[in-house]
């Protein structure tokens, strides 16, 4: 007896269709799964056996072989329980075969047949819609909203094996999931943080605005308690809204990581990730025994905030170099090399030295020169080279603390940021990118042309300060953003001058 049902699997960010073939023949009772299943898939055997029995169905005591095709891709994940159970039920004629023709199912099962939520439904739903626009996707109820984000796909949310069988036999008992995308795109009011609460620190605020407008990396350096963490935490309030494509890509990443909210499966606000400095390389970059997207991927289209930057492990910091340059991260696995997006903005904060008071006119630094050198040396030159904007956040003067804080509100800053982003989006439309930070070689030459005085200033600075070619390009990108914030087509001397000022510390290396 033979039956075939459909399910899905993932390779990196992309889902693909899996054919689950079940063959039941005479012989000694056995239950084998072939087609490169990993340990988590093999465990389906025990869950399926118990779930079928405990839901009141017959589990055949014969020779059962399950094949997951294509057989050359390694299958991981717990969502094969439901399709395997359906395959066995169909092969033993306990459910009608007709209902399974265009049905793709995903779901983990408990031993009593309850269907549990699984990660990765969104990318797999996208793959199903591509395969057959009339297909029907059966997923755990908690994941139904996620599947429903894919336009035109019929999604059925289920919660138990008995419910599924009743539906396949009688066509009743399951509701189709309707997702109101409009409502999900509506902004959620989150009162709280606002840039106007930060007193003084005008240079740092300006740097934040430029970084937000162009998606540039920032490093804040300053003594303890000057407002670095405070500024960074308020950055999300001035970031531009995401496009529909960006929302979908971020939601896909969170779906794979199993972090989507079941009631609001579309992520509409930019991610803001704050991994602790004790985090491992695998958790920041991705990978591990079960491949998971790391923090750099979870921060895609948003911010990765690394507070106390030099305190992170050396391996972690060096591993950041590749994703910061390529905007994707490659995770090697035994059977495959996976690529995840890492299109993020890095915001880092650190003290100038171990005691934190180097360069402070009012307090003496107690570090020895060697200690200062060691502390700063934790951030390697190549990593620092990838940070476009470095800004000092000095100790505040007392007069800046007095009275009401009078800075601009986040809403006002955000308005300018949005305008600058719109200009960039229009300019870069044909290039497949959306902001200045994403430009590379050819695009920089094309879009960052300097006025003559600005060009000669850059030449001088390049020769005198010993910039790398990368620093040269990154300065041009920041200057482009500064010009965009002003609505200027040309990059003038003034724009370039400001961009150079944020790379001043290159001289110290």
Ligand X SMILES: Nc1ncnc2c1ncn2[C@@H]1O[C@H](COP(=O)(O)OP(=O)(O)OP(=O)(O)O)[C@@H](O)[C@H]1O
Residues that bind ligand X (CB under 6 A): 198-201, 222, 224-230, 349, 351, 396
Query: Shortest Cβ distance from residue 305 to Mg ion (Å)?
Result: 10
**In whole angstroms, what is the distance from residue 312 CA to residue 318 CA?**
10
If the CB atoms of residues 224 and 466 are measured against ligand X, the closer one turns out to be 224
Strand ranges in 252-317 using DSSP code E only, listed in sequence order: 272-273, 286-287, 292-293, 303-306
Smaller CB separation from ligand X, 381 or 405: 405
In 3D, which of 79, 63, 357 has the Cα closest to residue 225? 357
The C-alpha torsion from 165 through 169 and 173 to 177, rounded to 10°, is 80
CA 195 remoteness from chain centre: 25
Tokens representing 212 are 């937000």
CA–CA separation, 157 vs 78, rounded Å? 17
Q: CB of 226: closest distance to Mg ion in angstroms?
A: 9
Does 274 help bind Mg ion (rule: CB under 5 A)?
no
| Beta carbon nearer to ligand X, 198 or 342 | 198
Partner whose binding site includes residue 372, from Mg ion, ligand X, none (CB under 5 to 8 Å by kind): none
Where in 86-145 is the site for Mg ion (CB under 5 A)? none
Give the CA count within 13 Å in the CB-facing half-sphere of 44.
Answer: 33
Q: How far is the CB of 391 from ligand X (least distance, A)?
A: 12
Place of tokens 């889902």: 15
Residue 251 interacts, among Mg ion, ligand X, none and using kind-specific CB cut-offs from 5 to 8 Å, with none
CB of 199 to ligand X, least distance (A): 4
Residue 229 as a binder of Mg ion (CB under 5 A): the answer is yes
Phi first, then psi, for residue 24 (nearest 5°) are: -120, 120
CB-nearest residue to Mg ion:
229
**Alpha helices in 105-190, H assignment, sequence order:** 121-131, 144-147, 161-170, 181-185
DSSP H helical segments within 177-264, as ranges?
A: 181-185, 202-214, 228-234, 244-256
Q: Of 266 and 348, which has the nearer Cβ to ligand X?
A: 348
- Partner in contact with 214, chosen from Mg ion, ligand X, none, beta carbon below 5 to 8 Å by kind: none
Q: Which stretch binds Mg ion (CB under 5 A): 76-84, 222-230, 281-289, 360-368?
A: 222-230
Which position's Cβ is nearest ligand X?
Answer: 227
CB closer to ligand X, 40 vs 229: 229
Between the CA of residue 5 and those of 23, 102, 155, 254, what are the distances in Å?
12, 9, 16, 27
> For the chain, how far is it from start to end, CA to CA, in angstroms?
72
Name, in order, each residue with C-beta under 8 angstroms of 189's C-beta and a sequence gap of 6 or more: none
**Of 76 and 307, which CB lies nearer to Mg ion in the complex structure?**
307
User: CB-wise, 153 or 350, nearer to ligand X?
Assistant: 350
Q: Packing angle between helix 469-485 and helix 452-465, nearest 10 degrees? A: 140
198 binds, among Mg ion, ligand X, none (CB under 5 to 8 A by kind): ligand X
What does 227 bind: Mg ion, ligand X, none (CB cut-off 5 to 8 Å by kind)?
Answer: ligand X
How far from the centroid of its chain's Cα atoms is residue 89's Cα?
Answer: 39
Contact call for residue 40 and Mg ion (CB under 5 A): no
Q: How far is the CB of 75 from ligand X (least distance, A)?
A: 45
Number of residues that bind Mg ion (CB under 5 A): 1
Instruction: Name the residue nearer to Mg ion (CB basis): 225 or 466.
Output: 225
Site residues, Mg ion (CB under 5 A) = 229
């Amino acid at each position: 007896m033979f039956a075939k049902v459909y399910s899905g699997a993932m390779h990196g960010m992309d889902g693909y269709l899996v054919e689950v073939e079940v063959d039941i023949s005479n012989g000694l009772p056995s239950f084998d799964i072939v087609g490169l299943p990993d340990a988590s898939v093999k465990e389906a055997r025990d869950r399926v056996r118990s779930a079928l029995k405990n839901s009141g169905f017959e589990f055949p005591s014969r020779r059962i072989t399950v094949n997951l095709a294509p057989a050359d891709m390694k299958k991981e994940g717990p969502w094969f329980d439901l399709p395997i159970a359906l395959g066995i039920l169909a092969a033993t004629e306990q459910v009608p075969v007709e209902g399974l023709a265009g049905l793709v199912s995903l779901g983990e099962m408990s031993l009593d047949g309850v269907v549990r939520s699984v990660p990765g439904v969104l990318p797999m739903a996208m793959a199903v819609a591509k395969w057959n626009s009339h297909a029907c996707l059966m997923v755990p109820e908690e994941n139904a909203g996620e599947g429903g984000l894919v336009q035109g796909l019929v999604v059925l949310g289920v919660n138990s094996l008995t419910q599924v069988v009743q539906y396949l036999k009688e066509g009743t008992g399951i509701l189709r999931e309707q997702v109101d995308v409009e409502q999900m795109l509506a902004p959620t009011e989150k009162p709280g943080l606002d840039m106007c609460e930060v007193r003084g620190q005008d240079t740092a605020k300006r740097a934040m605005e430029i970084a937000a407008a162009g998606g540039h990396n920032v490093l804040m350096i300053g003594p303890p308690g000057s407002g670095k963490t405070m500024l960074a935490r308020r950055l999300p309030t001035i970031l531009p809204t995401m496009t529909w494509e960006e929302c979908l890509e971020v939601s896909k990443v969170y779906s794979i990581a199993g972090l989507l909210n079941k009631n609001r499966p579309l992520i509409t606000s930019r991610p803001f990730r704050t991994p602790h400095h004790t985090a491992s390389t695998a958790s920041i970059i991705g990978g591990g025994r079960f491949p998971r997207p790391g923090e750099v991927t979870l921060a895609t289209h948003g911010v990765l905030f690394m507070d106390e930057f030099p305190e992170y492990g050396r391996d972690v910091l060096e591993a950041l170099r590749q994703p910061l340059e390529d905007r994707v991260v490659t995770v090697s696995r035994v059977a495959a090399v996976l690529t995840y997006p890492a299109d993020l903005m890095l915001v880092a904060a650190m003290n100038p030295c171990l005691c934190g008071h180097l360069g402070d006119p009012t307090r003496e630094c107690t570090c020895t020169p060697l200690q200062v050198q060691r502390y700063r040396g934790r951030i390697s030159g190549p990593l620092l080279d990838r940070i476009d904007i470095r800004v000092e956040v000095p100790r505040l003067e007392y007069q800046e603390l007095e009275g009401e804080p009078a800075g601009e509100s986040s809403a006002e800053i955000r308005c300018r940021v949005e305008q600058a982003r719109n200009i960039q989006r229009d300019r870069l439309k044909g290039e497949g990118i959306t902001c200045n930070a994403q430009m590379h070689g050819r695009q920089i030459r094309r879009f960052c042309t300097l006025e003559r005085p600005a060009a000669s200033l850059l030449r001088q600075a390049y020769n005198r300060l010993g910039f790398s070619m990368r620093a040269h390009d990154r300065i041009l990108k920041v200057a482009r953003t500064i010009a965009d914030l002003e609505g200027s087509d040309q990059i003038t001397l003034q724009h370039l001058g400001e961009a150079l000022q944020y790379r001043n510390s290159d001289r110290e290396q």
